[in-house]
Structure 1
Amino acid sequence: MELIYPINCVGHDEWMQSGYDPRLSKGEVVTRDGEVIGTWRVVGYDPASECSSGQFEFTANGDDAVKFTEGFAMLDVRPSQGLALSKLSSTIREWYEANNGEIS
């Protein structure tokens, strides 16, 4: 698996390609170096409605509670979803780098 971003939500593309199957709405969050730092998931959406809103969540390894969230307005509007995922990834990266040093 190619990890091209500093923070990668593994399985996100498969979830989108599946038509937003709830069984695929989660995965690992991995740094470019291959370090698994937590999990992502999507909640609060209706896979049968392309106009459904929802929320990405990030839970860090070792934590039981969700650490960061980012909502999106419409499930099947890529800019809405993409902006939310980008914001969440940036927040995760800032948190990770503040605690572990810069991601190469």
Structure 2
Amino acid sequence: MNLIYPINFVGHDEWMESGYALDLAQGDVITRDGEVLGTWRVVAYDPNLDTQGGRYEFVADGQERAVLAEAFGVLDSRINRGLALSTLTRAIRDWHETSPS
């Protein structure tokens, strides 16, 4: 697996390429060094209504509920969705850097 970013959303590209299939709207969040931080998921969206929004969530390893989330307004907008993903990625990175080891 090619982990090129400090924080990687495994399966995110496949979710987008699928046309936002509900069964692919989740995956692992892994650091560049291979440390599994938890999972990502996309919720509150309808893949048949690409002009509607949704929400990215991060669930820390060992948790059941999201510890971080970021909403986006339009599913089929790379800019809108990308900004939300970028904001969530920064939040995860900050969370990871300040979490006790």
Alignment of 1:1-104 (within 5 A): 1-99=1-99
TM-superposition CA deviations, 1:17-38 (whole Å, max 9, x none): 0000000000000000011110
Q: TM-score, normalization: structure 1? A: 0.94
Count matched residues: 101
Runs of 4+ deviating beyond 6 Å: none
Percent sequence identity over aligned pairs: 54
Q: Structure 2: which 5+ residue stretches go unaligned?
A: none
Give the aligned residue type for 2:94.
E
Q: Structure 1: which 5+ residue stretches go unaligned?
A: none
Q: 2:100, 2:93 → 1: CA distance?
A: 10
Give the deviation of 1:100 after TM superposition.
5.4
Q: 1:100, 1:4 → 2: CA distance?
A: 24
